[in-house]
Amino acid sequence: MNFIKIFSQDIKRAIYQQRYRYIIVLIMITLLMLIPTNIADSINKKIPEAGNMNFLDNVFYMLSGCEHVIPEKIKDIKIPFPWMSIQFLCGLVTLDYIQYDQNGIGKAIILRTKSKLAWWLSKCLSMICLVIGVYTLLFVVSAVVALINYRLSGELHMDLLSMVLELNNTYIVEDGMIIYIFTVPILVSIGITLFQAAISQYLSPVIGLAVVLSIDAMSVFSNSVLLWGNWSMILRSSLCLQDGLDVWKSIAAGIVTGITGVVSGGIRFCKKDIL
């Protein structure tokens, strides 16, 4: 059995196993998307020129994160529930797929391929696809909501977003922001998910998810580049804030985290006696 066949069967099993969790993803994203839409409608009644939320505004709202932490104003930090929800959903759909498969049909696959490495790499690719699936649903729901509001455009309205998000600082939108929105958060989520998979191999899936969410939560209250939550918050990036986190550092950190997860998790898995 070649690698392509292993992966094609893997991704089918992964999507089938996670089908109910994807329904949860769809419901949560849809409910969260109603919040900025309703807020924008209220603002529009008072300030007609403010406009309505469009497709890109919806995506920005969900992935914006929270503002740069100022120590003396740390009590004023608003918890970014939409951003936290996306991080949680990525961890949820990849939570225990590897363990589930290696205790079931995965054993037969390993016997047929005689390669634990190929099996592990296939699982990592499947998890990447599962994370992309979460973001795909985010983009689709954002587009549908925008269509309902007749605002399916690719223009960012920072004035409106500042009011919807109740931002205290002034933000800029540098060239490349659109590319950033559709690439960097996904890349960082993939890296974190692969690292979560490695933790799951050494400890357990639940502990892996708990570690990821704990670091995400700490990121809300700290600007530290060592906390991976900061890598994907749009409001803390250098494209949105003059002294924000450099985009290329975020990309590099996400890639290094992902590679570390694949390598360390693979070493642990290959040493396991699961047959």
**What's the rounded Cα separation, in Å, for the pair 194 and 200?**
10
pLDDT of residue 134: 98
Give me the residues paired with residue 237 across strands: 245
pLDDT of residue 150: 67
**What's the rounded Cα separation, in Å, for the pair 53 and 41?**
9
pLDDT of residue 233: 95
Query: What distance, in Å, lies between the first and last C-alpha atoms of the chain?
Result: 18
pLDDT tens track of the chain, all 275 residues?
Answer: 688 888 888 999 999 999 999 999 999 999 999 999 888 888 888 887 777 888 999 999 999 999 888 877 777 788 999 999 999 999 999 998 888 888 777 777 877 777 888 899 999 999 999 999 999 999 999 999 988 876 677 778 888 888 899 888 777 777 788 899 999 999 999 999 999 999 999 999 999 999 999 999 999 999 999 999 999 999 999 888 888 899 999 999 999 999 999 999 999 998 877 65
Taking the model in full, what pTM does it have?
0.93
47: phi then psi, degrees, rounded to nearest 5? -130, 85
Task: Name the residue among 51, 57, 65, 50 with its Cα closest to residue 36.
Answer: 57
pLDDT of residue 244: 86
Domain boundaries, the chain: 3-271
Task: Name the residue among 253, 255, 124, 111 with its Cα closest to residue 200.
Answer: 124
**Residue count of the chain:** 275
pLDDT of residue 71: 79
* Interior angle at CA 256, CA 80 and CA 222, nearest 5: 30
Neighbour count for residue 164 (Cβ, 10 Å): 23
**What's the rounded Cα separation, in Å, for the pair 130 and 95?**
11
Instruction: Say whether 245 sits in a helix, a strand or coil.
Output: strand
pLDDT of residue 274: 65
